[in-house]
Amino acid sequence: MTEIRDLFFALDWFPDAHAPMPAIVARGRRPNLRPCGVCHRPEGVGGPENASLAGLPADYMLRQIEDYRTGKRTTGVPARAHVFRMIAALKELTDDEIKASVAYYAAMKLPARIKVVEADTVPANYVPNWYYTPRKDGPSEPLGARIIEMPDDEEAFVNRDSRVTFTAYVPPGSVARGKELAMGREANRIPACGGCHGDDLRGQADIPPLAGRSPSMIVRQLYEFKHGLRNGAMAEPMKDNAARMTLADMTALAAYAASLPP
């Protein structure tokens, strides 16, 4: 429990499953630079509240680090203290630490761990700490137009277990609708995603993969592109595309991408 609560210790439940962690990933540097592995996990899987880094192109990660450091990328939620804490920490990274952490996560493969379920209702839930979890009394509530993504084992998730799986509840018809949009069937409004992210949405060159990644994270990024919170190199095409998306479009695209094998 002491190790679980130590935010300068990347708790590693499966140390034989990956290469040795760089020091900045495993321990960080006090007093301000928490280790990458605390939030993004030693296996790079992250959670719905942040991002999975496993298998992202190294050049893409380097670009995002630079955008965060220079203020070209931020968040639309002023209360997301952990994002601002990360931005402050990134400014303290040395070039060697950046190279080591990026190379470590880029070499990984993201495992399949998200089940997308289309539903009209969802287990009644609340947000204890930047993630959804079911209430103990067990009723259901209308899902509406939301995505509700919850860990299947909350205790393991809180204990920073990299192997936790998630269920993402999405509105009925979302996956099929998202596939249509991703394939460019409304190209006059939203170009096909595969032109940049690949036909299977597994990315190409320095464009990030979307397949099998958190739909909560994908919607956040589309929203932030739309509202001018992500700028910098390579951001303009996404800003233009997201500007024409409704929130329902974003939800459908995220549901479809998350339903694909990574």
Is the pLDDT score of 216 beyond 90?
yes
Fold of 2-106: Cytochrome Bc1 Complex; Chain D, domain 2 (1.10.760)
Superfamily classification of domain 114-259: Cytochrome c-like domain (1.10.760.10)
Percentage of the chain lying above the pLDDT 90 cut: 90
Is pLDDT of 233 > 90? Answer: no
Of 217, 225, 229, the C-alpha closest to 76 is: 229
How do the domains of the chain map onto residue ranges? Answer: 2-106, 114-259
Q: Which of 54, 102, 67, 44 is nearest to 203 (CA)?
A: 54
- The predicted model gives 95-116 an average pLDDT of 97
Lookup: tokens for 138: 């067990």
The backbone torsions φ and ψ at residue 166, rounded to the nearest 5 degrees and listed phi first, read -135, 150
The pLDDT of residue 32 is: 86
Q: What is the mean pLDDT of residues 15-35?
A: 95
Asked whether the domain spanning 114-259 has the same topology as the one spanning 2-106, the reply is: yes
Mean pLDDT, the chain, whole residue set: 95
From CA 23, how far away is CA 3, in angstroms rounded? Answer: 16
Query: 108-140, pLDDT tens digit by residue?
Result: 999 999 999 999 999 999 999 899 999 988 789
Q: What is the mean pLDDT of residues 145-170?
A: 97
pLDDT of residue 80: 85
- Mean pLDDT computed over 179-204: 96
Residue 192 in this model has a pLDDT that exceeds 90: yes
